[in-house]
Amino acid sequence: MKLLKEASVRPTTGQEQVRATVSEMLLRIEAGREQAALDYARQFDAYEGPGFVTGDELRAASVDAQLAQDIALAHQRVQDFALMQRSSLREFQLELAPGLWTGQRLVPMECAGCYVPGGRYAHVASAIMSVTTAVVAGVDTVVGCSPPRDGAVHPGVLFAMRTAGVDGVLCLGGVQGIAALAFGLFTNRPADILVGPGNRYVAEAKRQLFGRCGIDLYGGPTEILVLADSSADPEMVAVDLVGQAEHGPDSPAVLVSTDESLARAVMDRMPSIIDDLGSSAAAAAWRDCGEVIVAEGREEACQISDRYAPEHLEVHCSDLEWFLMRLRNYGSLFLGEETTVAYGDKCSGPNHILPTMGAGRYTGGLSVHKFIKTLTWQRMTPEASAEMAPVCARISRLEGMEAHARSAELRVRKYRG
């Protein structure tokens, strides 16, 4: 392995101050409720309006005809993919032993809070990804939340949420928006789960509220890692790296190549592509968070990638099927130069709310599964209960739990005499 460029800033840099700030804000909002949330909206967003979007405003949200068609197409693809995910789940019952019936039920959550960022960009696609998936999962009430821009939620975001089937929308951003969803402010419907991307303050608020409600995942800055061999087009690789770097100045962009000349060709192109874009965020991200690594072969390249467990993983290599079967840690995989992360971010179907900061080692991205509880049940005949009791009693006494043992033995006496 050869390191051609190393990141000087990590996603966790400065996190201690973020944690302290978020903790104080959550305490104040929980105590002060709606007024405290609106006070923060005034402080951070210069927003003087109500904390919610009226039904008339939601119905009136519009975009031009072409964008309406585009949003409808993206919604349809996300919905179709989510429906297939839903069909992969099933309820069942199974007789594990004579008279011992067990099973599982699939029960959607009652209320989901879907946060849609709106600071630097109007994240229309995030509105589609989160709300659509919750609706397909069968959640009873889906509440959207997005920060005000020029005194209101961006009309494109509102239109997308309405298209996806949202039940109501809050006009709040950042920590105050996440807190409002979790505490049920303005709706009297506390969220059972909080989903959606956001900045480090949003992510930290979700982390601190986990346990009180569920969260989709603990997210950090957007990430991309590209695996490339000598067959890759350096221009496409560079453009795709910059495409994700524009998310923010702390967004890691990593290239792992088995060909040093390809890696250097990509590095040579990055400055001009960034300059042409005119994005200070992309420039800072590449300067501070960009990395370029040369691997000795494709096996080492995959090992490096799996250690990163990147949010977005592009493969610009020959023998794509080998990489599909070999790679195991990532949020979402994009195989071949034809399949850019940008498609997944906006409209191709699989969800773009994905794990970051190595979380791809233990979780996937947002899916219908996140909104559905898998609940187990069991039922026994008296004969099966009496058969089970001695095993339970012996294990309980081995553990030192006498009351457990006696609850089992009581059933032996009742059902067998």
Taking the CB of residue 113, how many other CB atoms lie within 10 A of it? 31
Give yes or no: 204 in active site. Answer: no
Report how far residue 367's alpha carbon sits from residue 1's, in angstroms, rounded to the nearest whole number. 35
- Please check whether residue 33 is in contact with residue 328, taking contact to mean a CB–CB distance below 8 angstroms: no
Length of the chain: 417
Sheet holding 168-171, edge to edge: 52-53, 168-171, 141-146, 111-115, 193-195, 214-215
- Please check whether residue 82 is in contact with residue 94, taking contact to mean a CB–CB distance below 8 angstroms: no
- Please check whether residue 141 is in contact with residue 116, taking contact to mean a CB–CB distance below 8 angstroms: no
Burial 317-336 (b: 16+ CB within 10 A, else e): beeeeebeebbebbbbbbbe
Roughly how many angstroms between the first and final C-alpha of the chain, as a whole number? 72
Three-state SS annotation for 4-35:
EECCCCCCCCCHHHHHHHHHHHHHHHHHHHHH
Torsional sign, CA 22, 24, 29, 31? positive
- Please check whether residue 241 is in contact with residue 281, taking contact to mean a CB–CB distance below 8 angstroms: no
Three-state SS annotation for 52-111:
EECHHHHHHCCCCHHHHHHHHHHHHHHHHHHHHHHHCCCCEEEEEECCEEEEEEEEECCE
- Please check whether residue 297 is in contact with residue 260, taking contact to mean a CB–CB distance below 8 angstroms: no
Contacts of 15 (CB under 8 A, 6+ apart): 200, 204
* Set 123, 154, 247, 312: catalytic member: 312
- Please check whether residue 185 is in contact with residue 34, taking contact to mean a CB–CB distance below 8 angstroms: yes
183, 186, 191, 195 alpha-carbon torsion, rounded to 10°: -100
Give yes or no: 311 in active site. Answer: yes
Q: Which two tokens mark 396?
A: 């309980």
* Set 223, 311, 314, 387: catalytic member: 311
Report how far residue 228's alpha carbon sits from residue 293's, in angstroms, rounded to the nearest whole number. 10
The residues annotated as belonging to the active site are 311-312
